Amino acid sequence: MRRLWGLTERAVRRGQSHAELTSHTNFSESTEAVLNLVCTTCGKPCRSKTEMDLHTKRTGHGDFTDKTMETAKPIELEAPKAADAVEESPGGAESSDLSQEMVVPDVDKSLFEQLESMGFPPARATRALHYSGNSSIEAAINWVAEHEDDPDIDQMPLVPVNDKKEASKPSLTPEEVKKKAQELRERARKKKEEEEKRMEREREKERIRIGKELLEAKRMEEENERKRIMALRKAEKEEEKRAREKIRQKLEEDKAERRRKLGLPPEEPSAPKPASPVPEKKSAFLPVRPATKAERMRDCLRSLKQTHKDDDAKVKRAFQTLLTYIGNVARNPDEEKFRKIRLNNQTFQDRVGSVRGGIEFLEICGFEKQEGDEFLFLAREKIDMAVLNSAGSELNSAIANPFFGVL
């Protein structure tokens, strides 16, 4: 209310000064009505709902009195005429002056001196003690901290004479002051504990949320890994199935070839197979088909993988080096440098010569030892592109298949 009165007083003075300078006396109010909501606890005036909500948030005071209509008065910009002032009755003038007279409110002197010794200006100390109810130093300091941004914080507060008389009361006893300070400290402690509990709940919620996200991410990773392993196993089974089918077809072809050589008619695929009689001892020995070079290469690579199963990097390096040698010969069959390998070469020994089956694989592809086992050499006329292609296919399969040589 004091703040609103001060703003109105300044507006009136400015209007009167403008009227004296320009002789303009016709003024109209251009601002919206200002609320005057007074806190019943500490007397803080609030001019809007926003300011009232902010004050409640800061102090916890939620009880306000609406005094907007009491302070709303018409603004008189023209100075009162002397004749009108003379015609007023003495009694009426004295009554009007008494009702409008504003004085500095009384505050506790000991508390006032303590605030001054702390460095607070007299006006600020008086205002803080007045609006905090002269209760304690702590209450006054809290009031200053809450209202330090008020434009009239360093203006001496004024109250009507009647309000001063009604507000005059004996100061609190030391016991009451001590009790009041204890209540304030207890209230601040409880508020701090509640705030700490609230923050702890928030932190616990955040920890739970992060834990759930980590568990979900781990579950998704395990699910993806499981799907990847299943896909690899499925691909391995498909490869084994194709290999068995090729072997079966090859056996059928060999069987048909043997029947043709023996002069027997081809076997009807739809005819039921008769029960095979017990073979006689003389016909029990059938010619065994020698293993093809592709099968020997596969067995050689499988043996290499199983021999060095604890060193996957070494096995993979050997496979890639063999693939490089075979590829160079297949792409450049006329270049002798690609068909001749020095056995005591350190790089060759580290990658191929030191692993079991490396030199044997090259010999299956056509390489031969020469010059006292110092070189591996593949003669130009002995190059078989079909054999080299089969070797490349077997090496690619061994490199790409993670289960090669395991089963």
pLDDT at residue 379 is higher than 50: yes
Whole-number Å distance between alpha carbons of 340 and 350: 17
Backbone angles phi, psi at 115, to 5 degrees: -65, -40
The closest of 397, 216, 238 to 319, measured between CA atoms, is: 397
- Give helix 293-307 / helix 312-331 axis angle, nearest 10°: 150
- Check residues 119 and 164 and name the one with the higher pLDDT: 119
pLDDT at residue 325 is higher than 50: yes
* Site of tokens 């010619």: 287
| Fold classification of 109-175 (topology level) | Helicase, Ruva Protein; domain 3 (1.10.8)
Per DSSP, helices labelled H in 262-311 are 293-307
Q: Any idea which of 64-68, 87-91, 115-119, 270-274 has the lowest mean pLDDT? A: 87-91
Whole-number Å distance between alpha carbons of 141 and 131: 11
Q: What's the pLDDT score for residue 167?
A: 52
Token pair in block for residue 83 = 């004749």
What pTM does this model have? Answer: 0.32
% residues pLDDT > 90 (the chain):
17
Token pair in block for residue 332 = 């450049």
Q: Do domains 109-175 and 293-400 have the same CATH topology?
A: no
- Check residues 36 and 227 and name the one with the higher pLDDT: 227
Distances (CA, A) of 393 to 267, 314, 323, 330, 401: 34, 20, 9, 13, 12
CB 378 within 8 A of CB 329: yes
Q: What's the pLDDT score for residue 192?
A: 92
Q: What's the pLDDT score for residue 405?
A: 67
Chain mean position to CA 85: 76
The tens digit of pLDDT for each residue in 70-123 reads 665 554 544 444 444 434 444 444 444 445 577 888 888 888 888 888 888 888
Domain spans in the chain, listed from the N-terminal domain onward: 2-79, 109-175, 293-400
Q: What's the pLDDT score for residue 10?
A: 65
Token pair in block for residue 272 = 């039921």
Residues 6 or more apart whose Cβ sits within 8 Å of residue 27: 15, 19, 75, 77
Q: Any idea which of 50-59, 64-73, 275-284, 364-373 has the lowest mean pLDDT? A: 275-284
pLDDT at residue 51 is higher than 50: yes
Q: Any idea which of 71-75, 300-304, 402-406 has the lowest mean pLDDT? A: 71-75
Q: What's the pLDDT score for residue 247?
A: 93
Q: What's the pLDDT score for residue 227?
A: 93
Distances (CA, A) of 375 to 8, 267, 364: 112, 51, 15
Q: Any idea which of 221-235, 246-260, 277-291 has the lowest mean pLDDT? A: 277-291
Q: What's the pLDDT score for residue 123?
A: 87
Q: What's the pLDDT score for residue 268?
A: 67
- Domain 293-400 part of CATH 1.20.58.2190: yes
Residues 6 or more apart whose Cβ sits within 8 Å of residue 341: 325, 348, 362, 367, 375, 376, 377
pLDDT at residue 270 is higher than 90: no
To the nearest whole number, what is the mean pLDDT of the chain? 78
Q: What's the pLDDT score for residue 219?
A: 93
* Strongest mean pLDDT among 51-60, 77-86, 203-212: 203-212
- Check residues 152 and 209 and name the one with the higher pLDDT: 209
